[in-house]
Amino acid sequence: MDGGRLLILGVALAFALSGCGSSESTADKTFGDTSDSDEELIADVTAEIKQFSSSYTDLVVAFNAEDVEDARTAVDAMAEHLDKASETIADAENAELRTTYQDYLAKMDGVTVASERVVEYLEAPGGAKPKLEERLAARYEDAVKKAQAADKELLDRLAENASPEERERLQEQYRDLERQFEERTGG
């Protein structure tokens, strides 16, 4: 079960956009007036999402290696980083910013929950249960697809408000992130 290079890349790109520097921030252009406090929250959420993305990559590596212990560690870290990001964004003053990111984080949580169920299955004694494996794999893939769609939606929304220079920088970051993901996961 390898699931979802776009999830990793889109998350990092969407949040990278929020930190681009111009006279009017991309967040302001996207969500309306964001306070300095909101800009700081975005930076904090960005840090947690980057850690979530790294943990998700660790999960993909663990699934590919059939390493249940590392998969458990990765999925626990994913949940921890999402919890921190969710707690942080809840304090945003800008309602549109808060709601958008809460909805986005809920999609990432769907991946975490589906991954948790796969790991629980792998940890349980009792041997293979093909029908259950199929259901778990289908739920996992569905959660990844929903997260990919959320990545694309948020990224597109932010990109609409980025300058040409910011978009170019993002394309460079995209290529770098894709290379890093491929190096770590072998894919």
**d(C-alpha 15, C-alpha 53), whole Å:** 11
Residue 94 falls in which region: left (phi positive, over 0), alpha (psi -120 to 50) or beta = beta
- Count of positions (residues) in the chain: 187
3-state secondary structure of 24: coil
**CB within 8 A of 128, min separation 6: which ones?**
none
The SS3 of residue 179 is helix
- Kind and range of the H or E run holding 12: helix 5-18
Domains annotated for the chain, with CATH where assigned, are: 5-21+34-185 (1.20.120)
pLDDT per position as a tens digit, 92-145: 999 998 999 999 999 999 999 999 999 999 999 888 899 999 999 999 999 988
pLDDT tens-digit series, residues 9-50: 555 555 555 555 445 677 778 888 888 898 888 888 888 888
